[in-house]
Structure 1
Amino acid sequence: MLGLELGINRRFDFLPGFWSGFGVEANYTFMDSRVNVPRQFREGEELITVKDKTSLPDQSKHLGNLIVFYEKGKFMVRLAGNYRGRSINAINQNLGKDYYVWTDSNFTLDASATFALSSKIKFFLELNNLTNEPLKQYIGDKRRITSYEWYGIKGQLGVRIDIF
């Protein structure tokens, strides 16, 4: 297994006035995982064993996110884009890699905002999957879709009160 993670978190506090509240956070992860999946089949009277190489289930090779934010005084606003590369969902050991179930790559966009009425009382709004990105799964290649699911935009609106 081989991996690499890169990240940056930068507040633009060197800018004047209003602009000093902006900032950016970004990270990227590369993970190259390998596993040998043994498979046996018969050719006539002979039993043949092969090993298919693949990545670990539910382990995307590429992950990343980018967050643009504004934090100043009582306000905080964030917009986050999240990317997850394709990954194997299920390994069919008997039929081989042409029949593995994959979860396709996807990109979601989330937003959040907070207003601090005081140091103990904060109002917040969180919205997830603003683009209503679907979850898509397929067998072997992208033309053999097994599921295409939309979960919609979800959100929360509330007040947080710190008692202690």
Structure 2
Amino acid sequence: MKHGHRPSRVAAFVAESVNVLQLQTATDALARHNRRAVLVSGQQSLLRGKNGTAEINFAVAETVTDLDESGYDALVLLEDAATQPEHATALSKRFADKGKPVIALRGSAGIVAAIAGAGSQSDATSAALIDGHLYANDDDDSDWKIIDAVAGRMAREAMPA
């Protein structure tokens, strides 16, 4: 069996509960560009998510205080990031200060908008902070579009000239 290159890692910040559909969207969009989401949180614990009537538990791989951003290409803030604003904001600033993209999915775009000095964003908006510039999308499939666009950009930038 032939194996491709090992996927690059993207930190996926989750707080108290996991939006399973949003996590699946992020995972699928990242995988399309040979990247994988690694769950990080402000707390070391098992987190709960719901998929229809089924409850699913997720293990946090790293906490915000233990995370070394040099091991990740980007940061994705999932929907509930705003429930831990101090952790989500601090982590977002660390990634942005290192020149790494910060992607905020629906429900967390206000965090990156505040860092960019752009005021507030609606809960229906997905956004990305790249090199100090804020990009936003509020289409029905904005989570997919923003991740796919940023991951595609990272892939193009990583290609040899």
Q: Tell me which protein shows more strand as a share of its residues.
A: 1
Confirm or deny a common fold (TM above 0.5).
no
Higher RCO by CA contacts (8 Å cutoff, separation 6 or greater): 2
**Larger fraction in helix:** 2
TM-score range, shorter chain: under 0.3
TM-score by length of 2: 0.23
TM-score (norm. length: structure 1): 0.23
Larger of the two Rg values belongs to structure: 1
